[in-house]
């Protein structure tokens, strides 16, 4: 058991980084043939795709941060928004990405318990939005949109609109909650205490 505790995390971490390296290296065929490592070294250079991807991201960020770059990005987004199916996917992914990298807001900053899949059975969830005036007007109570991930794969799950009074906010970081979900509840934070309780029904 002690050996498993040492090698299993190392093995999973290695496989995850190996997958990322392979994905990045598969981007090399997009480069002109004379710019690839095998053209000037005579053989492939492992990890070169990751370096290229980092450089491309850096240059794109620098370009998008200045006036001319913002105009170009604006024209490009305007073009994509004119294509029916593309605009739906692009705008959704762009909004999701902006929410995740934004330093403001409460998206994925709060870990809560939500009563799911039945009464008196609770699941860990993440608050994705608590500013829903249109939905609040229909329900008559402040609502929150929460994401309930599946385990051990937290990239899939369900979203629910839940009254904020029925959520239990936990004194738990997002990282700790993710560890608990991925490990099927085996890795539990040492202290989990509620900071707010649901209203009596």
Each residue's pLDDT tens digit, 54-110? 777 788 778 777 777 778 878 888 887 888 877 778 777 776 666 566 555 556 778
User: Which residues, in sequence order, are bridge partners of residue 112?
Assistant: 125, 169
Query: Burial level of 68, CB count in 10 A (0-12/13-18/19+)?
Result: exposed
Q: What's the average model confidence in pLDDT over 142-171? A: 89
Instruction: Compute the mean pLDDT over every residue in the chain, rounded to the nearest whole number.
Output: 78
The string over 102-127, giving b where at least 16 C-beta atoms fall within 10 Å of a residue's C-beta and e elsewhere, is eeeeebeebbbbbbbeeeeeebbbbb
Distances from the Cα of 111 to the Cαs of 31, 41, 144, 162, 191, in angstroms?
43, 50, 12, 14, 14
Q: What percent of the chain has pLDDT over 70?
A: 75
pLDDT of 194 over the 60 cut = no
pLDDT score for 201: 45
- Nearest 5°: phi and psi at 184? 60, 30
Query: At which residue do the structure tokens 């392979």 appear?
Result: 22
């Amino acid at each position: 058991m002690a050996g498993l505790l040492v090698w299993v995390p190392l093995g999973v971490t290695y496989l995850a980084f190996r997958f990322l390296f392979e994905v990045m290296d598969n981007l090399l065929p997009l480069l002109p043939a004379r710019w690839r490592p095998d053209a000037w070294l005579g053989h492939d250079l492992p990890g070169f795709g990751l370096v290229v991807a980092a450089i491309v991201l850096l240059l794109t960020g620098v370009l998008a941060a200045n006036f001319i770059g913002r105009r170009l990005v604006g024209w490009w987004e305007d073009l994509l928004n004119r294509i029916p199916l593309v605009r739906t996917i692009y705008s959704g992914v762009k909004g999701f990405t902006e929410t995740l990298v934004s330093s403001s807001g409460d998206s994925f900053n709060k870990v809560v318990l939500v009563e799911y899949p039945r009464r008196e059975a609770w699941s860990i969830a993440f608050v994705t939005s608590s500013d829903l005036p249109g939905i609040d007007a229909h329900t008559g109570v402040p609502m929150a949109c929460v994401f309930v991930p599946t385990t051990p794969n937290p990239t899939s799950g369900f979203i629910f609109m839940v009254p904020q009074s029925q959520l239990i906010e936990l004194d738990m970081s997002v990282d700790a909650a993710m560890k608990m979900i991925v490990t099927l509840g085996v890795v539990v934070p040492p202290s989990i205490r509620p900071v707010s309780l649901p209203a009596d029904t």
